[in-house]
Amino acid sequence: MKAYLSRRYRICASHRLNVAAFSEEQNRLVFGKCNHPYGHGHNYTVEVTVSGQVDETTGMVCNLADLDGCVQTLLLDRFDHANLNRDPGFSRAVPTTENFCTLIFELLSGAFDRAALERVRVEETGNNFFELERKA
């Protein structure tokens, strides 16, 4: 039997959606107000879901302290109060929330000893969220 553990984290970060190969007009048409020259920020909610067998001794799928420490080191220390456009993970990609979700999934994949990363969900606003799931 497999159990799931999901935990939420907050990341405050800014970005500007812009493609260097596009003209200013084309960037404005594609990205609208998200192309503002000074960027804009979001209070992202990142939800991480891991799965695994419930340990007979501890009764846990994953130790919360271990999960929190991993997320702190790999995500929060790197992205909280940062400009995503300046992060090396976006050197060749527009820092859309879709790409942010993908980068987070890649950073956390394989980071846990006993648990497996199942899903990453990034909420950009109350209306927009993006999810990436492990392939079956």
Instruction: Report DSSP letters for 5-46, one per residue.
Output: EEEEEEEEEEE----TTS-HHHHHHHHGGGG-TT-EEEEEEE
The single residue of 34, 47, 98, 118 carrying the catalytic annotation is: 34
Question: Tens digits of per-residue pLDDT, 7-56?
Answer: 999 999 999 999 999 999 999 999 999 999 999 999 999 999 999 999 99
DSSP letters along 53-69, please? PPPTTT--SS-HHHHHH
Domains of the chain are 3-133 (3.30.479.10)
Residue 124 falls in the annotated catalytic set: yes
Q: The whole model's pTM is what?
A: 0.94
The single residue of 12, 36, 40, 81 carrying the catalytic annotation is: 81
**33 with 40: CB under 8 angstroms?**
yes
pLDDT tier for residue 135 given thresholds of 50, 70 and 90:
confident
The single residue of 42, 70, 101, 124 carrying the catalytic annotation is: 124
Fill in the DSSP letter of residue 109.
T
Residue 34 falls in the annotated catalytic set: yes
